[in-house]
Amino acid sequence: MILPQDEVIDPIQEERKAEECVRDELKKRKVKPTMEIYRPPGRRTQPDPQPIPEQSPIIINTRKDSTSSSTSSNPSYENKQTSRLNRNSSKRQSMIITGMVADLILKPDPNKADNRSQSSKSSKDSGKPLQSNAQTPSTKVKQPKQHQQTNISSSMKDFPKKRTFGSKEFEESKNGLNRIAALKDTDLIEEFISSNMTDCKVASELGQFLVKFAVEENRVEAKNAARVAAILIDCPAGEPFHQSFLTGLKQYFECRDQLRESHFKIWTTFIHFITDTFAHIGFTYEGDLVEIIFGSFEYLLLPPTLHALRIEELESLISGLLAVGFDLERVCPERLGRLKELIRDALIYAQEPWARKMIMLLMELGASGWKLPSEANEYYFH
C-alpha cells in the first residue's frame, strides 16, 4: 500500500522526536534550587525529614505509544511527583513566613518616626543639634579622659587657689622674721615689719636676703625661712617679694654645676630649701618655683650627673618628693608623670647598687601616692 507523500513517516525523525520528548521530561523532573532567606538561629526550624520513596528505574522507549503507556502505568513516577509537590509547597510556605518576618523587622514604626520628626523639629527650633542615646565609638574612647579630668578637678577643689593674709599670718611671719633677726644683725627685717609689710622696696631686698641666709649662712634655720617666705607671698608687698625671692633661687640654680663640684653642702641645702618652701605654700601655686624644683630633680636623674650621683643627693631627692610629691601631682600631673619616667630610666642606667636600691624606693613612692609604706620602710632602712 502506498501512502501519500505528506503522510510518509520517516523513522529517523520519529526517533529524534521521541528523544526530545525524553529530554524535556528529564528537565522537568530536575528540582530547581529555591532561594532561601537568611534566618537567625533562634528562628530556624528544621522540618521533619520525609521518607524518600525508592525510585525504580524508568524504562525509556523511543516509540510514542510506549512512552505514554510507561509513564501512566508506572506507580513510582506518580509517588515521586506527589513528594516533589509537597516539598515545593513547604518551601513556599517557609519563604512566605520569613518574608513576613523580614517585613515586620524592616518596616519602620510610624509612632517612632513621628517622635523622631517631632524631636528633630524641636532641636531645629531651639538651635541645638539632635543628640541620640546611642554612643558612638569616639564617645566611648573619650570617657576615661573625661573621668580623669573630673577626678583632677575634684581634688583641686580641696586645694585653695589663694590664701588670705590676715592678722594670724601677720603675727606668724613677724615671729619668724624676729627669730631670723636675732641670728642675723640687720635693719632690713625691722623696717619691713614697721611698714606693716607694705614697703615694696624693702620687700624686694628681703626676698634675696632670705634666700642667701637659708642656703649659705644658717642651714638650721632654712625650714623657718622657707615657712616665712611661703607666708609673705600673700602679704601686701608680696609681689615684689616673690619676684626677688625667685630671682635669688634662679641664681643658685644656674650655678648648679659649680655648687655641686665646689660647694656640695650648699647645693643639697638649696634642694631642701626649695622643696620646704613649696610644702609650706598650701595653695595652688603656678609660679616659677615649680620649674626650679622640677629642673633640680631632672638634673639629678639625667647623665652625666646620674653616673656620679652621691648618696646625699638621692636622700634630698627622696625627702623632697615625700614632702611635695603629692601636691606636685595635683598641680601639674603631666610634668610629674615625665619625672616618673626619668626615675624608671635612671634605675636602668645607674651604676652603683646602692643607687639602684634608692631609685627603686623612688619608684615605690610614686606608685603609693608619695607615701612610704611600712613594708618599704623596713626593707630600705632596717
User: Over 60: is that where the pLDDT of 241 sits?
Assistant: yes
Alpha carbon distance, N-terminus to C-terminus of the chain: 136
- Distance separating alpha carbons of residues 232 and 175, to the nearest angstrom: 12
Q: Minimal CA–CA distance to 317: which of 291, 297, 293, 334?
A: 297
Least confident of 259-263, 352-356, 376-380: 376-380
- Beta-carbon neighbour count of residue 229 at 10 Å? 26
User: Over 90: is that where the pLDDT of 278 sits?
Assistant: yes
41, with CB counted inside 10 A (0-12, 13-18, 19+), is exposed
User: Tens of pLDDT along 15-26?
Assistant: 788 888 877 777
8 Å CB contact between 246 and 277? no
pLDDT top residue among 120 and 345: 345
CA distances from 129 to 71, 119, 126, 135, 279 (A): 74, 10, 9, 15, 48
Locate 331 and state its grid cell.
Answer: 598641680
- Mean pLDDT (whole number) for 118-130: 44
User: Over 90: is that where the pLDDT of 211 sits?
Assistant: yes
- Distance separating alpha carbons of residues 343 and 302, to the nearest angstrom: 9
User: Over 70: is that where the pLDDT of 173 sits?
Assistant: yes
Q: Cell 525529614 maps to which residue? A: 49
Highest mean pLDDT among 5-14, 43-52, 315-324: 315-324
Q: What confidence tier does 29 reach under pLDDT thresholds 50, 70, 90?
A: low
Locate 2 and state its grid cell.
Answer: 502506498
Which spans in the chain are helix H?
A: 11-29, 64-73, 75-106, 110-126, 137-157, 167-183, 188-194, 200-212, 222-232, 238-254, 256-262, 264-281, 289-301, 311-331, 333-349, 353-367, 374-381
- Mean pLDDT (whole number) for 268-278: 96
Least confident of 58-62, 78-82, 160-164: 58-62
Which long-range contacts link 46-54 to residues 24+ away (Cβ below 8 Å)? Answer: 47/90, 47/94, 50/83, 50/86, 50/87, 52/83, 53/79, 53/80, 53/83
pLDDT score for 76: 53
User: Over 80: is that where the pLDDT of 290 sits?
Assistant: yes
User: Over 80: is that where the pLDDT of 38 sits?
Assistant: no
HSE at residue 337, side-chain half, CA atoms within 13 A, is 5
pLDDT score for 16: 82
Q: What confidence tier does 381 reach under pLDDT thresholds 50, 70, 90?
A: low
pLDDT score for 162: 62
User: Over 50: is that where the pLDDT of 136 sits?
Assistant: no
Task: Give the mean pLDDT of the chain.
Answer: 74
8 Å CB contact between 267 and 260? yes
Least confident of 28-37, 219-228, 258-267: 28-37
pLDDT score for 91: 52
Q: Minimal CA–CA distance to 351: which of 288, 298, 304?
A: 304
pLDDT score for 165: 86
pLDDT score for 69: 43
User: Over 80: is that where the pLDDT of 175 sits?
Assistant: yes
- Beta-carbon neighbour count of residue 311 at 10 Å? 11
8 Å CB contact between 111 and 119? no
pLDDT score for 63: 44
Q: Which residues of 84-99 are buried (b: 16+ CB within 10 A; e: fewer)?
A: eeeeeeeeeebeeebe
Q: Is 21 left (phi over 0), alpha (psi -120 to 50) or beta?
A: alpha
Q: Output the CA torsion 35→37→40→45 (10° steps).
A: -60
pLDDT top residue among 150 and 301: 301
- Distance separating alpha carbons of residues 278 and 313, to the nearest angstrom: 19
Question: What percent of the chain clears pLDDT 90, i.e. is strictly above it?
Answer: 45
Sorted by where each starts, the structural domains of the chain and their CATH numbers stand as: 11-38+60-91 (no CATH), 284-382 (1.25.40.180)
Residues 6+ apart with CB under 8 A from 134: none
